[in-house]
Amino acid sequence: MALLNPNFAQEVQPYTEDTALACFNCGTCTAICPLIHEHFPRKMIRYVQIGAKDRILENAQELWRCLHCGLCTQTCPREANPGEIILGLKRFVVANWRRS
């Protein structure tokens, strides 16, 4: 069972210039992602939104599947910049790897 942290989106913000809270989980990023795997990147963004920090750290290897091609960002109807969110999560994981 994962513990949820309602302030997690703010905890991630220093690592990315965008916020996952702008995303409304429409799935457009997942539909266009050439590396789709179990609803990536939608799943990782949703983990940020609900505060599932443990899930992100447990599934950190998935973040490195993203090649930062920009397709998800180009097609996002909310301009939430999913690619930048994933890049920020990579930074967050690296910064917090030893602490978890």
What tens digit of pLDDT does each residue of 41-77 get? 889 999 999 999 999 999 999 999 888 999 999 999 9
Q: Is residue 39 a part of any domain in this protein?
A: yes
Q: Is residue 30 a part of any domain in this protein?
A: yes
Distance CA 27, CA 24 (A): 9
Q: Is residue 2 a part of any domain in this protein?
A: no
Across the range 75-99, mean pLDDT stands at 89
| C-alpha angle 30-33-34 in degrees, rounded to nearest 5 | 140
Given a cut of 80, is residue 100 above it in pLDDT?
no
The whole domain housing 22 covers 12-95
Q: Is residue 3 a part of any domain in this protein?
A: no
Q: Is residue 6 a part of any domain in this protein?
A: no
Q: How many domains does the chain have?
A: 1
Q: Does the reported pTM lie above 0.85?
A: yes
Peptide bond into 41 cis (omega under 30): yes
Q: Show the DSSP H helices in the chain as ranges.
A: 8-12, 28-32, 42-50, 53-58, 60-63, 71-75, 82-96
